Amino acid sequence: MRDYASPGVAIVAVGAILVAGVYVLAVLDRLLGMIVAGTSIRLGALLAEPVQSGALLVLQERRTTERPDAAGWALAPALFGGLAAVALAMVPLDRDIVAADPATGFVVFSAAIAMVMIAIYLHGWSPNSAFALHGAYRYGAQALSFQIPFLLAMLATALPAESLSIVDIVDAQKSVWNVVREPAGLPLYLVVGVAVSFWGPLNLPDAADLAGGTVVEDSGLDRLLWKGARAAMLVAVAAMGAAVFLGGWWGPWLPGPAWVVLKTVALLVVLLASGHLLARVRIEQFVFVSWVLLIPLALLNVFVSGALLL
Q: Which of residues 17-36 bind other proteins (CB under 8 A)?
A: 32-34, 36
Identify residues 241-280 at the interface with other proteins (CB under 8 A): 275-280
Residue from 82, 187, 220, 257 in contact with other proteins (CB under 8 A): 220
Number of chain residues interacting with other proteins (CB under 8 A): 79
Count other Cβ atoms within 10 Å, centred on residue 260: 26
Any contact of residue 45 with other proteins (CB under 8 A)?
Answer: yes
Closest CA to 190 of 150, 140, 152: 150
Judged by CB under 8 A, which stretch of 91-99, 172-180, 182-190, 202-210 contacts other proteins? 202-210
Beta bridge partners of 4: 100
Any contact of residue 168 with other proteins (CB under 8 A)?
Answer: no
CB of 122 to other proteins, least distance (A): 7
Give the 3-state DSSP-derived string for 77-135, with helices as H, strands as E and coil as C. Answer: HHHHHHHHHHHHHCCCCCCCCCCECCCCHHHHHHHHHHHHHHHHHHHHHCCCCHHHHHH
Identify residues 284-303 at the interface with other proteins (CB under 8 A): 284-285
d(CA 198, CA 142): 9
Residue from 4, 5, 10, 53 in contact with other proteins (CB under 8 A): 53
Closest to other proteins by CB, 130 vs 293, is 130
Any contact of residue 118 with other proteins (CB under 8 A)?
Answer: yes
Is 148 within 8 Å of 135 (Cβ atoms)?
no
Judged by CB under 8 A, which stretch of 87-95, 134-142, 241-249, 251-259 contacts other proteins? 134-142
Any contact of residue 86 with other proteins (CB under 8 A)?
Answer: no
Is 280 within 8 Å of 201 (Cβ atoms)?
yes
Closest to other proteins by CB, 254 vs 278, is 278
Any contact of residue 190 with other proteins (CB under 8 A)?
Answer: no
What are phi and psi for residue 100, nearest 5 degrees? -150, 135
Closest to other proteins by CB, 167 vs 246, is 167
